[in-house]
Amino acid sequence: MPRKKKENYFTKDTENAIVRYNSTDDPELRAKIFSEEIYYPFYKLAENIIHTFKFYYTDVDGIEDLKHKIITLLLKKKFLNLIPQ
């Protein structure tokens, strides 16, 4: 049986977007970079964390809320320095 192709969500393009994000103070440009180039890889990482560790039964209203909480936690823990502390 052929193996399913693994898709990388954090790519060189994502890394470059993070560098651009961190190198500007323009809030509009930062919001655009984050929403268009950085958010999706974090979203997929959150999905993978949920499925890998089977976090299906938590005290949040739904799986999308859980994904948002995981993304927020990753960013707050300075995973990639995207949210100032």
51, pLDDT greater than 60: yes
Residue holding tokens 């049986």? 1
For 4-11, which contacts have Cβ atoms below 8 Å and span 24 or more sequence positions? 9/40, 9/41, 9/44, 9/45, 10/41, 10/45, 11/41
What tokens does 46 get?
């959150």
For 48-57, which contacts have Cβ atoms below 8 Å and span 24 or more sequence positions? none
Distance (Å, rounded) from C-alpha 68 to C-alpha 28? 21
80, pLDDT greater than 60: no
Q: What percent of the chain has pLDDT over 90?
A: 44
What is the predicted pLDDT for the residue at 58? 78
pTM of the model: 0.75
What tokens does 12 get?
């060189």
What is the predicted pLDDT for the residue at 22? 86
